[in-house]
Chain A
Amino acid sequence: MSEIHAETVAFVRETMLPAEAPPAREAGAVKWLRENLFSGPVNTLLTLLGLGIIWFLVSHFWDWFAHSVWSANSLSECRQIIAETWGEGARGACFAVIRERWNQYVYGFYPSDLYWRPTLVFGLLFVALAPVLFSESRSLRRLILGLTTAVTLILLVALGTPVLWLIFAAAVTIGASVIAERHPLYLLIFSALYPLLGVWLLWGGSIWGVIMVLVGFGLGWGAWLVAARVSPMLSAVAAALVAMIWWIGFAGAAASDAQNLIPLGITPVDSDQFGGFLLSITIGVAGIALSLPLGIVLALARRSDMFLVTSLAVMFIEFIRGVPLITLLFVASLLLNYFLPPGTNFDIILRVIIMVTLFAAAYMAEVIRGGLAALPKGQYEAADALGLDYWKAQRLIILPQALKISIPGIVSTFIGMFKDTTLVTFVGLYDPLKSMSDAVRASTSWKGIYWEPYIFVGVIFFLICFGMSRYSMYLERRLARDHR
């Protein structure tokens, strides 16, 4: 720039102009709307369609929701309140039925003075799950355990729990929170004991049965140690054999003898008193806990190179996957007694759990087989190259990776199974959806109420299943070891 120019030119800008605001149609909300809702004729049409759907739903159901009544003792009283408050002819939801029959929906016909037991079992479920599911993140574990402790203890106090049990609950939950800070893996001991504790607390009865089952594990472990010196190959067989002999041959008698000697137990509760979400969750959790290991075994069997094992696994899986769950449930309720020794008769809930487990396990096996197949062959070869035997290779190298890949599939199998627990209504159990709602409607005061119970049960199922699927997505992200 020469000076001449500076003199000849009338004006020279020496600073940059500030950027102009974009045109109104290219900025802010308008731009967003243009891009996302009205970018073309088709898009505009879709937006209008979407708005139409929303408007339809809101206009038809909003006043019904807005006019909901939460406290009344019968449907007619409810309708009266609606008519009084919002004028004659107004529609309204009567969620008072949920409020009045809340206990029944949650606990079924469980004795009301024992409500604390299922509540405690449910609370402890999270403690038991903490080392398994929430081991990835310290803050999440802290949150879960803290919440569990607080909510469980408050509920237990509200439900009038005996003091001894309250102390026990406090000790376990708070203890778990403390232990989790230092050695989260120690909590696995509690997780292993939890199934026994849960079954005992739910069904009640003598504690000696639980102890005798534990003794069986102890004996099995002992047999393992002894046999391992002779031949490591036989140790597993010996352990299983000794434990089985104990459980089948002696445990029952020993438990009743011990009970006669030192009576120690809590009020027994029969299976027919289970109902509502207590039933769904019991069947669901038991089925989930049992179907995963069974599914892994089936998947390994199907991929095994032993012809007979493979074909048996294929037959089993394809049979179970080929028939509807409802027929399996009918088998549980109608036919199982034919297949067992004459005079055998065992609990219907147990029978249903077995069938649901087998059903879910077949699906689980296919999901895990997919995970196993997706694993690069190099992993198998690397395990072989390290000289690991089959089980060590599976346990240390193959399964951890295969299961990680299959998490979404596994969780959606869980969700499917939990939803399927509603089908138990067809074999005469009181599931929350149909049987319980029918039972509520059978009383004269709530005759003719349909939508409210359905909506309530649907929302609960949605929350649980949606929560599970979101958690699996979170887990998938946390566990992703590649592409960091």
Chain B
Amino acid sequence: MKKSVFLGTVAAATMVAGMGMADTLADVKARGELNCGVNTGLVGFAAPDANGNWTGFDVDVCKAVAAAVLGDSSKVKYVPTTGQTRFTALSSGEVDVLARNSTWTFSRDTDLKLDFVGVNYYDGQGFMVPKELGVTSAKELDGATICIQTGTTTELNLADYFKANNLSYSPVNIDSNAEGEQQYMAGACDAYTTDASGLAATRAAFADPENHVILPEIISKEPLGPAVRHGDSNWGDIVRWTLNALIAAEEYGVTSKNIEELVKSSQNPEVQRLLGVTDDLGAMIGLDKEWAKRAILASGNYGEIFAANIGEQTPIGLARGLNAQWTQGGLLYAPPFR
């Protein structure tokens, strides 16, 4: 008896989804909800709280896209994905955007048929060790046991780095960040390696952060960014320029607080175009005039999002570093809105 219900559901699902995935924008609008692939739980980037409300740096990107496309930043369905399932979830159409601290690499961009639309966090792989070990450089880690998450680029970087420096190590493969912390805290590994931001987040949550040091070596480039499916350029444009709008907004001093005021008063032509006061840029990507304004209003500009989730005022306490605006010596550089 129950089987038939499921068949009915399957049939209904097939009909709804049968429209094809070439036009993601139309699908999202028809569905009235953005499916956003996120981490299953990495504090600061994407994690559900006790009530299942998702917060984090990546989550805010999802919110901005939803606000730009659907006009409501709460119209997001967060699909938790593991390191294993994330790219399949995207290529199979289960999610529209993958905002899951994934590194932009050549093979992922080409062979895996993804399109990375930009970088929302410039990261690099680092090491954390207990202070009592007396290690000051990654080069001193010869023969050490190192905890590493499987299925990530960090695994490859680690192998390359130790090989290049002619060092040996024994990996302890772990499945999730929570497990990595457990192993590291118990001393089951001498060092824990993952993205530097993740290390900082992990260290910040320790009871005794002062007893752990993050080694100076950053052994890889890890540009983390949202990705979309290959083959739907228009949708890619929307996500790319939503991200750029957040970055540009910070550059021009547009915040969620002063945005209404700036819409009325700003004389800066770039800001006027961005906020849809003069040109109608939105029409070019199939959205309305105020798309960028809504995206910024969702959780603020890039700087606000950074500060609220992972900035120095939060327990995670990351400095802007590479992720500062280009005017401040960082790498964030939004192309002109014109």
Asked if the two chains touch in their complex, CB atoms less than 8 Å apart, one says yes
Q: Which of B7, B21, B50, B81 contacts A343 (CB 8 A)?
A: B21
Are B41's CB and A442's CB within 8 A?
yes
Given contacts A192-B1, A427-B85, contact A343 B47 (CB under 8 A): no
Q: Which of B1, B17, B47 contacts A345 (CB 8 A)?
A: B17
Given contacts A350-B9, A428-B40, contact A343 B2 (CB under 8 A): no
Are A344's CB and B48's CB within 8 A?
no
Are A213's CB and B80's CB within 8 A?
no
Q: Which of B12, B48, B85 contacts A333 (CB 8 A)?
A: B85
> In the complex, what distance in Å separates the CA atom of A273 from the CA atom of B4?
24
> In the complex, what distance in Å separates the CA atom of A415 from the CA atom of B5?
25
With a cutoff of 8 Å between Cβ atoms, the chain B residues found around residue A209 in the complex are 8, 12
Interface flag for A217 (CB, 8 Å): yes
Are B41's CB and A438's CB within 8 A?
yes
Interface flag for A272 (CB, 8 Å): yes
Given contacts A341-B18, A346-B9, A427-B85, contact A273 B94 (CB under 8 A): no
Given contacts A251-B8, A333-B88, A447-B205, contact A290 B13 (CB under 8 A): no
Residue of A nearest to B18 (CB): A343
Are B88's CB and A334's CB within 8 A?
yes
Main secondary structure of the interface of A (DSSP, over half): helix
Given contacts A216-B8, A290-B2, contact A101 B50 (CB under 8 A): yes
Are B19's CB and A450's CB within 8 A?
no
Q: Which of A101, A248, A272 contacts B77 (CB 8 A)?
A: A272
Complex interface: stretch among A58-66, A103-111, A149-157, A173-181: A103-111
With a cutoff of 8 Å between Cβ atoms, the chain B residues found around residue A290 in the complex are 2-3
Interface flag for A444 (CB, 8 Å): yes
> In the complex, what distance in Å separates the CA atom of A169 from the CA atom of B174?
47
Main secondary structure of the interface of B (DSSP, over half): mixed
B291 to chain A, nearest CB (A): 25
B151 to chain A, nearest CB (A): 12
> In the complex, what distance in Å separates the CA atom of A212 from the CA atom of B179?
47
Q: Which of A108, A251, A347, A354 contacts B52 (CB 8 A)?
A: A108
Interface flag for A76 (CB, 8 Å): yes
Are B178's CB and A337's CB within 8 A?
no
Are A272's CB and B7's CB within 8 A?
no
Q: Which of B2, B10, B80 contacts A195 (CB 8 A)?
A: B2
With a cutoff of 8 Å between Cβ atoms, the chain A residues found around residue B7 in the complex are 244, 247-248
Residue of B nearest to A429 (CB): B80
Residue of B nearest to A104 (CB): B50
With a cutoff of 8 Å between Cβ atoms, the chain A residues found around residue B2 in the complex are 195-196, 199, 286, 289-290
With a cutoff of 8 Å between Cβ atoms, the chain B residues found around residue A286 in the complex are 2
> In the complex, what distance in Å separates the CA atom of A108 from the CA atom of B48?
11
Q: Which of B49, B82, B185, B207 contacts A428 (CB 8 A)?
A: B82
The 7 closest A-B pairs by CB, nearest first: A109-B52, A337-B92, A346-B13, A195-B2, A438-B178, A252-B12, A248-B11
Binding site for B on A (CB under 8 A): 76, 101, 103-104, 108-112, 192, 195-196, 199, 209, 212-213, 216-217, 243-244, 247-248, 251-252, 270, 272-273, 275, 286, 289-290, 293, 330, 333-334, 337-338, 340-348, 350, 353-354, 426-428, 430, 435, 438-439, 441-444, 447-448, 450
25 A-B residue pairs with CB within 8 Å: A101-B50, A196-B2, A213-B4, A247-B4, A247-B8, A248-B11, A270-B77, A293-B3, A334-B88, A337-B94, A342-B21, A346-B9, A346-B14, A346-B17, A350-B6, A426-B82, A428-B40, A428-B80, A438-B176, A438-B178, A439-B41, A442-B177, A444-B315, A448-B182, A448-B185
Binding site for A on B (CB under 8 A): 1-15, 17-21, 40-43, 47-52, 77-82, 84-85, 88-89, 92-94, 176-179, 181-182, 185, 205-207, 315
